[in-house]
């Protein structure tokens, strides 16, 4: 349940209380957020990490910013708990596609229609073959990797030249499904980091379907 932000009246009352307290004193102001005053008397807001004792996890200018950062941190810790020993967003970025795939598949089962799930399952097999060892950080920060991935997919989905049926044919429709699965893996990860994936970020991996030069 979403917690309502504290009223300005409550914040002013807390501020008056803090001015009478010791310099590093803090007061809870709702939603697991604590307020203190810095050396210049400005309001500062903090939250404490789960299992972190009294250690704050960042200082923010507003209650809303602190709540947003706390929720982002909570999402990263929840994923880490599901996936093993990770304890930070930095560790999560260094996960490979192969390692992240089980958590992504839970999103697919929860959020996608059955036919989409079938397509993603088929595409995931290809995505793991051609990009399973790349990290999420690499896919987010190195757009040139898409060329390498497409090259691998083209090789994977091109029939042998000695095949009896359509020798040497590139089955683009099948390869597209591998790219779409990989695109969604990246998009789900970016959303879990409280980043709204931009069109550019998602389209790095999405096939056009009509722009054949993307496969040249």
Question: Within 13 Å of residue 97, how many CA atoms lie on the same side as its CB?
Answer: 24
- 36: DSSP letter: E
Domain ranges of the chain: 8-75, 94-215
Q: How far apart are CA 161 and CA 207, in angstroms?
A: 25
Query: What is the side-by-side order of every strand in the sheet holding 56-60?
Result: 27-28, 33-37, 43-48, 56-60
pLDDT of 212:
37
For every one of its 216 residues, what pLDDT tens digit does the chain have, with 9 covering 90 and above?
467 899 999 999 999 999 999 988 999 998 889 999 999 999 999 987 554 444 446 789 999 988 887 776 665 555 555 555 444 555 677 888 998 888 888 888 878 888 889 999 999 999 999 999 998 888 877 767 888 898 999 999 998 888 888 888 998 888 999 989 998 998 888 877 654 444 344 444 444 433 333 433
């Amino acid at each position: 349940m979403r917690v309502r932000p504290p009223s300005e009246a409550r914040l002013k009352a807390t501020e008056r209380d803090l001015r009478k307290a010791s310099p590093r004193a803090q007061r809870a102001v709702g939603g697991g957020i604590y307020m203190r005053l810095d050396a210049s008397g400005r309001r500062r807001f903090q939250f404490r990490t789960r299992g972190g004792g009294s250690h704050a996890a960042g200082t923010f200018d507003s209650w809303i910013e602190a709540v947003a950062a706390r929720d982002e941190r909570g999402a990263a810790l929840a994923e880490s708990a599901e996936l093993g020993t990770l304890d930070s967003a930095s560790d999560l970025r260094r996960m490979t596609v192969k390692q992240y795939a089980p958590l992504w598949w839970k999103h697919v089962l929860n959020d996608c229609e059955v036919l989409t799930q079938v397509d993603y399952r088929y595409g995931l097999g290809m995505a793991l073959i051609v990009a399973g060892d790349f990290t999420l950080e690499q896919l987010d920060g190195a757009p040139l990797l898409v060329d390498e991935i497409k090259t691998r997919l083209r090789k994977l989905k091109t029939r042998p030249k000695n095949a009896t049926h359509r020798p040497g044919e590139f089955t683009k429709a099948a390869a597209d499904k591998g790219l779409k699965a990989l695109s969604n893996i990246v998009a789900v990860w970016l959303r879990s980091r409280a980043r709204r994936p931009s069109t550019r970020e998602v389209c790095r991996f999405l096939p056009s379907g009509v722009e054949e030069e993307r496969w040249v």
